[in-house]
Chains A and B, each alone.
Chain A
Amino acid sequence: EPEVTQTPSHQVTQMGQEVILRCVPISNHLYFYWYRQILGQKVEFLVSFYNNEISEKSEIFDDQFSVERPDGSNFTLKIRSTKLEDSAMYFCASHGQGNEKLFFGSGTQLSVL
C-alpha cells in the first residue's frame, strides 16, 4: 500500500526556535493536510492545502504556522517561533479526488524545551 512519509520522526527544539516538519504525500494525491495530537488528547485538524494554497485552517493554525509545497513531492509545516504548548505529534495526510480515504503518515513527535 502507498505511504505518506514524514521526517524526522522526532524533533527536539528550544522554545523560540523555528522548526520545519517535512512530509512526502502519496505521489498522485492532490489534497494535503496537517493534523496534530497532544499526548493523551484527540487528533486536531490544523490546515488543508489544495492547488498550491491553503483551503482551510483551524484556530490553532495562527501566524506562527505556515505550509508550503516547495516542489512536486514535499509538503512542509513550519512553526516560526515554537512554544512549549506546540509539543505534540504532528501528522501529515493526503488523499486523491473524491471522498477517498485519508492516508496518514506515522508522524513527527515535536518536543519543545
Chain B
Amino acid sequence: LAKTTQPISMDSYEGQEVNITCSHNNIATNDYITWYQQFPSQGPRFIIQGYKTKVTNEVASLFIPADRKSSTLSLPRVSLSDTAVYYCLVGDEGDSSYKLIFGSGTRLLVRP
C-alpha cells in the first residue's frame, strides 16, 4: 500500500480557502485517493474520492495531477466547524477487502 505524507497541521481563518496537499509517490495503478475528516471522539467521515484530474462535490474539491503522485484537497470558504483532522488515504479494492491505512493526518485549525 502506498504511504502518504501530509502536513502535520495548518492554520486558517474563517472564509478562506484551504488547500491541503498529500504526497503519495508510490501510488499504484489501481489505487484511488480518498480524503476523510475526523472530529474529536468521532469516527472518520468520507469527504471526497478521486482517481485522476479533478473531482468536486458539495463540500470540497480534489485535484490530482497527471502523475498522481500527489493530491490536493481544497476546502472553499472554511468555517470554524471545519476544524478537524483531515486524512489522505490511498488504496484499492483487493479481492476481498479495501484496507485503508490512515497516516497521521493534517490538523486544521480555523480561527475566527
Contact = CB atoms under 8 A, between A and B. Distances in A.
B7 interface: no
Contact of B94 (A4, A51, A55, A95): A55
Q: Which among B36, B87, B102 has the greatest number of chain A C-beta atoms within 10 A?
A: B102
Given A43-B87, A55-B94, A101-B49, A107 B99 contact: no
Contacts of A101: 34, 46, 49
Contact of B46 (A31, A91, A103): A103
Question: Interface size for chain B: under 10, 10 to 19, 20 to 34, or 35 or more residues?
Answer: 20 to 34
A89 B41 contact: yes
Band of interface residues on A: 20 to 34
B96 A107 contact: no
Most buried by B among A48, A89, A105: A48
Interface string A32-52: 010100000011110010110
Question: Does more than half of chain A's interface fall in helix, strand or loop, or is it mixed?
Answer: strand
B38 A43 contact: yes
B43 A107 contact: yes
Given A55-B94, A98-B93, A99-B49, A43 B99 contact: no
Interface of B: 32, 34, 36, 38, 41-46, 49, 87, 92-105
6 contacts: A33-B99, A55-B97, A91-B44, A100-B98, A106-B43, A107-B43
